[in-house]
């Protein structure tokens, strides 16, 4: 009589049992909550850029400029629309309606960046003045120029006139000039007399911003 071969068994404790997931039921990945990053590049930070593109700023280092250029222009040449100062951000230039005219960008010199020297460029991105300008010219929508900035030079917006100007809207945020008071000097008046003879009165000094030309023509103010 043939004997059956002896069988050996491996006994595992419950803690040693490994459960293998079925291929039909993949193990779901753990759910994670997305964490945003502030402009300071810190995870979970709520710090954002202000209207001047200053991280965590209060918007006081620039001013908002907005206008409409709707002058009647002669056909066949370039006409200046507006000058965008160095350091400007959030630049947006747009025709009010579809037209045969073309928006143009150039420097304060004779260097043209877009649509210069009677040559029409294809709409695309242009790296100009330290930023990227997005030039769009859809067939059924007005022509636009946009850039985040800041620019590293003054840019002149022009228009190549082929027909009546439908109007050009522009807005941008240039930096506040630090030399607004460069032509002025502070002048302090003498202290006033006290408003009462005894305790409880007030006295005051007036501070004036005086132009240098006024000081030179009239001397020191008394």
Q: Over the stretch 150-159, which tens digit does the pLDDT of each residue have?
A: 999 999 999 9
Q: What is the pLDDT of residues 96-111, one digit of tens each?
A: 999 999 999 999 988 9
Confidence label for 201 from pLDDT (cuts 50, 70 and 90) = low
What is the chain's length? 222
Q: Which residues contact 160 (CB under 8 A, 6 or more apart)?
A: 77, 78, 101, 102, 103, 104, 115, 118
pTM of the predicted structure, to 2 decimals: 0.66
Cα gap 179→157, rounded to integer Å: 24
Whether the per-residue pLDDT at 31 is higher than 90: the answer is: no
Whether the per-residue pLDDT at 166 is higher than 70: the answer is: yes
What is the per-residue pLDDT for 13?
57
Cα gap 202→12, rounded to integer Å: 95
What is the per-residue pLDDT for 3?
57
Cα gap 200→202, rounded to integer Å: 7
Phi, psi of 212 (to 5 degrees): -60, -35
Q: What is the pLDDT of residues 43-54, one digit of tens each?
A: 888 899 999 999
Higher-pLDDT residue of 128 and 22 is 128
Confidence label for 35 from pLDDT (cuts 50, 70 and 90) = confident
Spatial contact of 61 and 53, defined as CB atoms under 8 Å apart: no
Q: How does the average pLDDT of the chain come out, rounded? A: 81
Q: Where are the domains of the chain?
A: 65-173, 184-218
Cα gap 113→144, rounded to integer Å: 15
Highest mean pLDDT among 47-51, 103-107, 194-198, 208-212: 103-107
Fold of the domain spanning 65-173: Jelly Rolls (2.60.120)
């Amino acid at each position: 009589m043939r004997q059956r071969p002896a069988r050996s068994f491996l006994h595992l404790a419950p803690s040693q049992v490994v459960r293998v997931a079925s291929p039909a039921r993949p193990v779901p990945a753990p759910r994670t909550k997305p964490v945003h990053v502030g402009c300071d590049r810190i995870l979970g930070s709520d710090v954002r850029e202000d209207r001047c593109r200053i991280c965590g700023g209060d918007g006081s280092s620039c001013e908002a400029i907005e206008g409409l250029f709707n002058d009647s222009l002669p056909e066949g040449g370039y006409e200046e629309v507006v000058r965008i100062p160095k350091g400007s951000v959030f630049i947006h230039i747009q025709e009010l309606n579809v037209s045969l005219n073309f928006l143009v960008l150039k420097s304060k010199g004779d260097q043209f960046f877009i649509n210069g020297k009677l040559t029409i460029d294809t709409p695309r991105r242009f790296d100009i003045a330290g930023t990227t300008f997005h030039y769009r010219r859809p067939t059924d929508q007005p022509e636009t120029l946009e850039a985040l900035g800041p620019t590293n030079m003054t840019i002149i917006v022009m228009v190549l006139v082929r027909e009546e100007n439908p109007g050009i809207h522009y807005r941008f945020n240039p930096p506040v000039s630090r030399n607004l008071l460069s032509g002025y000097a502070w002048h302090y008046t003498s202290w006033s007399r006290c408003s009462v003879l005894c305790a409880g009165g007030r006295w005051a000094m007036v501070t004036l911003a005086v132009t240098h030309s006024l000081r030179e023509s009239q001397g020191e103010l008394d």
